Chains A and B, each alone.
Chain A
Amino acid sequence: MLEYALIAGLLFGLYFSLIGLGLNLVFGVMRVVNLAHGDFLMLGGFAAYWLFTLRGVNPIFSIPIVFVAFALIGWPLYYLLVPRLQASKDPEMLSLILFFGLSQVIEACATIGFGTSEYSIPGDVLGSEPWHILNQTFPASWMVSGIASAVCIALVYLYLYRTRIGYVTRAVMSQRDEALSTGINVHAVSALAFGISLALAAVAGVLAPFMFGSIVPAMGVAVTITSFAVIVMGSLGQPLGTVLGGMVYGVALMFMQTYASSWANLLPYLVLILILLVRPTGLLGKRVRHA
C-alpha cells in the first residue's frame, strides 16, 4: 500500500501543481485572488465533456483546443474586471469579493445550463488497460493526466524563463511599480498572464473528470481552496515552488487517504494554515508578513 500511495501521490501532485500554477501566476502578477479559478477549471471540464459527447473529441485533443479558447476569453475579461479594481481603496480585498461574485455567476450559469448531476467521461478513452508500475496498477487516465500536467508545467517554465514576455512578466511579478516606471505595458502583460492562467485552469479541468471522478458545477470553490493551499505551500511568484507544493500536497493527500481516510478532507485546509503560521513565505519564498 505504501508504494501505491507514493506513486499515486506523485501523479496527483503533478496534477495539483498544474491547478495551482494558474492561480500563482495571477496572484503573483496582479496581486489579485481569483476565487473563480476552480470554476474555470470546472468549465474546462465541461468543455471537454461536451467536445467528447457531441463531437467525439478525445480529451487529449481537447487540451490544446481548451487552452486557446480560454486564453482568448481571459484577455478581455482581464480588461473588464481588473483595472477598475486596482483604482479602488483596497484592491486585494475587493478582488476577493469580485471574483467570488464571478464564481457564483459562473456556477449559476453552469447549473442552469448543465443541471446538477455529476458528469464523467469514461476512463478508457485515455487507455483501456491500467498501467503497471512497480507491481502496482494505476488507471491509465491517471498516468496520462500526470504526463499532460508535466508537459504543461514544462511549457509554463519555458514561457517564464526563456521568452522575453516571460521575462517581462517576472519583472512585473517582483516589482510592479518599478516595472510601470520602466515603461512596461503592465496591463498587457497582466492580461496575457490572466489568459494563460485561465487556460491552465481549463486544461486541468479537462483532466478533472479522470482525477476527481466526476465534475459538477458546484465543484469550483473546493478546488480553488486546494489550489490556494498548493501555491501558498510553494510560495508565491515562484512557479517551481508551486510544483514542489503540488507534489508535497499530492503525496500527503494519498497517504492520508490510505491510512486515515476519514481525515483526508481536512488536509488542504490544515496545510494552508500551518504553512501560513509557521512559514508563510512557503517552502521557498519572499516575505509576506507584516506586523
Chain B
Amino acid sequence: MKSRRLLPLPLVCLLASMLTPADAAETPKDIKIGTLYASSGPFAAISMPVYYGLKLWVEQKNEAGGVLVRPFNKKIPIKLIAYDDQSSTATATTLYNQLITQDKVDILVADSGSVLTSVGVPIARDHKMLLIDQTGTGATFFTKDNPYIVLISDPISSVWPKYVGDFLNTEGYQLGIRRVAILYATNDYTSTQANAVRKFLKDAGKLEIVYDNGVATNTSNYVVLLQNIRASNPDAVVHLGYPGNDIAFFRNVQESGIKFKWLFGIYPGLETELVERGVGPKALQYVYTYVTSSAISYKPNFGMTLAEFKAAWDKKYQGGHVEFGFNAVAGYTTGLVLDRALATTDNLDQLALRRAIFAQSGKLKTLDGDFELDETGAQTGEIQPLGQLVPDSKGGLRLNIVYPHDLADAKPAYPAP
C-alpha cells in the first residue's frame, strides 16, 4: 500500500524556491522514507502500531511544512513509501529490494520485529544503506563489521529482561522465591530474552531453574504444558512469547484453574489493550509484566510527551483497529530520531546519517526513554521496569511499577491471591 503526502501549500513552496539562490535547486523535492509493515499474519499485531506511529510523525511534520534537513537548510516534505509484507519473510525480502533499487529511498526503515527485520540486514548491507531497525532486537544483527544498522526503540534482547532478572534475584528471593520455570517461544526475539533471563539467574546462582522449555511460535494450546510446569512445582513462572502465545497461555491458565504464585508475560505490558481483549481482565490479575513507555511518562527533551502523543493518536486514529501500546510509541520514536538526525547531519549519505544518529546517543531522551547505543548500533537504553497488573476498583486493571525502586510506586503482591 503506497502512502503519499502531497505538498500542502504548493504555491508557497514554488514562490519560496524561486526566491532562494540557484544552487538550492539541488535540494531534493522530498525526502523518501521507505518502510514495510505487516497487515496480516503473526506479526501484524506488533507491526501495524509501529507503522501508524511512524505515519503520525510523518504527517505531523508534513503539516508543518516538512522536516528540517541541515545540509539544505530548509524544511523538506517527507514522502513515506510503505509496502505490505503480510508477515512473510520472502515477500519482505523482495520488498526491501524494491524500496532500495526501484523506489531509491533516502532512508530505509525496517518492519517491526526481529524476524521481518532480519531479512533486510544483508540486503541493506549489500546496497550500503543504513537499516533503521525499529524494534528488531535479535542480537545477531549487531556485529562490529556491519555499520549499516541501528536499533531505535527497543533494548537489545540480551539486555531487555534486566529488571526481571534483577527482581527475581533480589526482592523475589527475599519474598521466598526459590524455584523458577521458564517457558518461551522459539524465535529470535523471545528465545534471546529467555537466554538473558537464564543467564541473569544462573550468574546470581541463588534461584533454581526447575523447568526450561521452548515451544513453537505458533503454539496456541498450553493446557498440557501447564500441567508439566505445575508438576515441577515452581514459585515463579516466566512466559516469553508473542501476543498470540501470551493470549493463549493466560487463557489456558485461567481455564485450567491453576494458580501460580508469580507469573510473568511480555505482552500484558507491551500490548495491554490487545491482551486484555483476548483474555479478559480477570485472567491478568496479579500478573507481572514490562512497564513500557506507553505506561510511564518519561520527561522527554524532544518530541511529544506520552500524554500528547496519545491525544494525537486518538484524534487521528480514533475508531481504528490498531491498538495503542508500546509499539505505537516505538514507531513515533523512530520518527523523532530521524528528525534529530536529519536536523544535524552533514549530508544525506548513509554513513553520515549513521554518525548523526550515533551523536544522539546519551543525549536524546524521548517519550520512550533514554536513547543509548553501543558501538555496533544496538540499543542499550530504554530498558523497561517491572510492573504488576492489579485489579482496580472498576473491575479493570491498574499497572503498578514494582521494580526498580527509584521508579516503583507500589509493592508487589506475592504470592498472588
Contact = CB atoms under 8 A, between A and B. Distances in A.
B94 interface: no
Interface stretch (A66-74, A210-218, A278-286): A210-218
Interface stretch (B3-11, B200-208, B254-262, B367-375): B254-262
B89 interface: no
A123 interface: yes
A129 B257 CA distance: 8
A212 B220 CA distance: 6
Interface string A193-224: 00000000000000000011110111000000
Given A137-B256, A139-B223, A257-B225, A120 B247 contact: yes
B255 A123 contact: yes
Interface string A81-114: 0000000000000000000000000000001000
A122 B228 contact: no
A118 B278 contact: yes
B211 to A, nearest CB: 11
Given A118-B220, A141-B255, A213-B221, A258 B227 contact: yes
Contacts of A129: 257
Contacts of B39: 116
A126 B123 CA distance: 51
Contacts of B266: none
B215 A262 contact: yes
B274 A117 contact: yes
A74 B280 CA distance: 36
Contacts of B227: 1, 4, 258
Contacts of A140: 255
B214 A262 contact: yes
A247 interface: no
A50 B101 CA distance: 44
Contacts of A258: 224, 227-228
B40 A130 contact: no
B244 A118 contact: yes
A115 B223 CA distance: 26
A130 B257 contact: yes
Contacts of A118: 220, 244, 247-248, 278
Given A4-B227, A261-B213, A213 B220 contact: yes
Contacts of A10: none
A213 B248 contact: yes
Contacts of B247: 118, 120, 214
Contacts of A138: 223, 256
A21 interface: no
Most B-side CB within 10 Å, residue of A117, A138, A142: A117
Nearest to A139: B255
Interface of A: 1, 4-5, 8, 111, 115-118, 120, 122-124, 129-130, 137-142, 211-214, 216-218, 254, 257-258, 261-262, 265
23 contacts: A1-B227, A1-B231, A5-B224, A111-B40, A115-B44, A116-B40, A116-B87, A117-B45, A120-B247, A122-B280, A130-B256, A137-B256, A139-B252, A139-B255, A140-B255, A213-B252, A214-B220, A214-B248, A257-B224, A257-B225, A258-B224, A261-B225, A262-B214
Closest 10 CB pairs of A and B: A213-B220, A139-B255, A116-B40, A213-B248, A123-B255, A257-B224, A130-B257, A213-B221, A116-B44, A118-B244
